[in-house]
Structure formats: structure tokens, C-alpha cells
Amino acid sequence: MPIVFEDEKEKLEKLGQKEFREIIFGKLKLYRWIIRGRCPFNDPETGLCKIHEDKPLSCKMFPLNLRIKGSEASIELSFGCSWVKAHPQAVRLDPKKVFPREWKALEEALDRLRRAMS
């Protein structure tokens, strides 16, 4: 269940997605996007994202996951990623070097969290 910001939730709702669970992080409202089974924007024939240019930050940063628990945020590496599953030693590698584009999206998400909290 990816975490999305309010503006991302609104975009997803316009695309037909309706299931979200609200999360309060300090003064900020975030949402868990509830996906049952395969992502509705993943093309089963090509495996590609149908909304690639407009996908939420949580999708752009995958397999880096932002975890929110109460007022704490942490970063995890997802073993739901086939590459990570095939390379379990990845947990010991520098994610900034292994996943540079994903790390950039993660930094953008963290920056948005920091700005909203100040």
C-alpha cells in the first residue's frame, strides 16, 4: 500500500482509484493507496506503468519504501521487488548508488514531508 500525498491522491481519484486510508503525520494528511492484487496501472502485457510520467512519488522511489508509523518515518528496501529478491545482499549496499533515480524521488518525498512539518 503505497503512501501518497493529498495532491497525488486527487490525481489517482480522477483516474478512477477510490480506496485510500488516511494517515496523519504531524500536521500533514497522507494516504495509503489500497491496491488489491496487481496495480491497476501496470499493463499486464508489457509490465509497464500506464501513468509513468504522472505516477506518485512512492511508485517512482520503489523499491525504496517510505514507512510512516505515528510521527516516525523510516526508509525500507522492498523485497516485493524482483531485483531485490534476486540480490538479497542489496540491503548492505548504498541505496543512493544502487537506485539513484529512486533515491532522488525519495529525497523529494522527504523534502515534502519536512516542508509540511515546518
Give pTM, 2 decimals. 0.84
CA dist 85 and 73 (Å) reads 24
Residue with cell 531485483: 83
pLDDT tens-digit profile of 51-108? 988 899 999 999 998 887 776 778 888 888 888 889 888 878 888 998 999 999 999 9
CA dist 63 and 81 (Å) reads 6
How would residue 15 be classed by pLDDT, with cut points 50, 70 and 90? very high
- DSSP result, 27-50: TEEEEEE---SS-TTB-TTT--BT
List the chain domain ranges.
3-37+52-117
Cell of 42: 501496470
